[in-house]
Structure 1
Amino acid sequence: MTSTAREVAQRAGVSVSTVSRAYTHPDKLSPVTLSRVRQAAAALGYEPLPVRRSDPPPALSRPTIAFMAPDIANPYFAAIAKAAQHRAHARSFNMIVANTSEDIEQESELLNGLLPSVQGVISCSSRSTDAQILEMAGLLPMVLVNHSVESVNSISVDEDDAMRQIVTHLAALGHTRIAYVGGSAHSPSEAIRSAALRAIDEESDELEITQLGNFAAFAHGGTAAADLVISSGASAVIAFNDLVAMGILSRLRQRGVEVPADISVVGTDDVLVSEATQPPLTTMAMPLERLGTAAVELLERLIAG
């Protein structure tokens, strides 16, 4: 059986990206690390796929970029990907959409598998560590969406401001006890939103913001959190996204809790499903189409040099 890059990485004590770099850009590794990878590969009989990074002849094909997201089934990421693909087509790029399934190792393996055939990558809400992202960005042009890593090009919405606008809206309605149902603990957006709400809570003597923890960023995550919302005594709840808010609304309805008479529910993202809820969901719109379009435009400039 042929050995894999992951097995070589484990034996050498490095990342999968480092194994790939040992064969695609060996000059970017220290002699010690390069030797360790090559020795591990030799011991396991690992043979990397041939890598050809030359640009395709313009008369035969169009350059290709990749769009990577944690879960393309999530309407948030789907909306950004759709806008990115529309812009990529307009700029004569092919675009591959890759789903990383919220898995850091799968994200790294997908990127390494795409290296021979793409000229750049858009990584949306990457779950990788900063060090891993820096390593990936050293292999080819990369744009991060809703994630910021020093020296890597990125485009983000102002998550802090969004949370402050939502709280200001709720406070104007007379709410002083607010609960927050967070998303995945690995989400860069979740980290910023949680920190923003924590800061608002510390700054205000009149508001009490209770963070109820991290939940799956889908309706079942909101359903699981709804009972905690009720027991928290909050008169309003902010959901990580509209899907979580939908789950909260469903469970509140089962419990006989009236929205907004008993509890106000606010989502974020303004995906299409918010229009179909009963009662209609109050949500904070995010410029998802602009994110996708701008990411492609920035990546195009990076590829062009």
Structure 2
Amino acid sequence: MKIQKSFSGQELNTVYVVPTPIGNLEDITFRALKTLMKVSVIAAEDTRNTKKLLNHFDITTQLISYHEHNKETRGEQLLERLENGESIAIVSDAGMPGISDPGYELVQAAIEADYPVVVLPGANAALCALVGSGLPADEFLFYGFLPRKKRDKEAELERLKLVSGTLLLYESPYRIKDTLKMLHSHLGDRQISVARELTKKFEEYIRGNAAELIDWAEKTELKGEFCLVVEGTSSESVQKDKLWWSSLSVVEHVSHYINEADLSSKDAIKRTASDRNMPKREVYQTYHVDQ
């Protein structure tokens, strides 16, 4: 067990997680600016992007890169700097580091090495989209980006369709049409809110059912980053979905996932075993050996 007292007067050897604006520079907080000025070094996902932010606010703190491709070696270097008494701020291109952006590994490594980690509040696209969607916000699941491969995406949507809370997804303009169509086919005609270009000049919310959103996407030039807020399933639907396979044999159950969800036999067996609360080896035996 580890206990951290974040404000005990200790400012050295500390990692500060600093959210940055997701579009509107006025969303930076006074505390974030003060922190970026006082730390020894700022670790940024893209130094070119962060340099623009620092120049706008006349911040001259040393800036180094920390991203998906150098996080292991750079993480070791940053830990050495903590050991030498320096403080570090980690930022992403926009929003909260660690949320679909680099940051988690450095935070984890710092905690394991007993260095304080202080997280500042700030801009986050998913929460803005959720609150602005008009959908329930008392229970929600942030997923981020769905897998790119069709088979993997369909498998995840089959799992997510049983979630009762509101779903939060990120998506690029290049895949938004296909994602809306797959949401409709796997989750049904649920209420969806698409938030685009949040906090920027062309901020836009498009709210409606899945079919309406698909029609909108087909007729619209899609630009910017998107956040999808999807209505969760009802308890009645969960129970119905859990029992849809009751009339199927084990073999038919596995075959359904292979043919309809385009899963491999291995993944179909795993899903069938989960549905029926059976050991995977029994499902494997029934499907591959006994039939």
- TM-score category, normalised to shorter length: 0.3 to 0.5
Greater helix content: 1
Q: TM-score if structure 1 supplies the norm length? A: 0.33
